[in-house]
Amino acid sequence: MRSISMAADLPTTAIRELIVEQLPMRYPKVEQIARRLGVPVRTLQRRLERAGLTYSGLVEETRFSLARRLLAQPDAHVAEVAKLLGYRDPSSFSRAFRRWTGDPPRAYCRPATSSKPIPGG
């Protein structure tokens, strides 16, 4: 566990890493992440606010970034990506992905033999 002094100027990268760790199990609650960082929830929220972020926004940004990376893998499966990102079912993930990009997740999947560029990539 990180100490409060180490978390004083905690970069969002460390927070994102903890979010990614939690995603396959469940939606990462701010309380869990703050506890892992060794800071009170309100302190974590204030630090994110200073960076112009919200916790839920950071979770969504992290999910989107990870989704694009996972879908770009050869033979990626939407259902597997949805599960890794903590969605209960692929349709929930598909709706979120359409909200982020305007496209279905399959548009970002790359077959193992394809060399076509990924949309928006």
| Encoded tokens for 17 | 């890493």
pLDDT, position 29: 95
Judge contact between 97 and 87, C-beta under 8 A: no
CA-based max dimension of the chain: 49
Helix, strand, or coil here: 16? helix
| Encoded tokens for 76 | 């990626």
On the question of pLDDT at 99 being above 70, the answer is: yes
Q: Please give the mean pLDDT across all residues of the chain.
A: 86
pTM for the model: 0.78
On the question of pLDDT at 7 being above 80, the answer is: no
pLDDT, position 56: 95
Structural domains in the chain plus CATH codes: 12-108 (1.10.10.60)
| Encoded tokens for 47 | 């630090």
35/32 Cα distance (integer angstroms): 5
Q: pLDDT (tens digit, 9 = 90+) per residue, 14-42?
A: 999 999 999 998 889 999 999 999 999 99
Residues 6 or more apart from 13 whose CB is under 8 A from it?
none
On the question of pLDDT at 64 being above 90, the answer is: yes
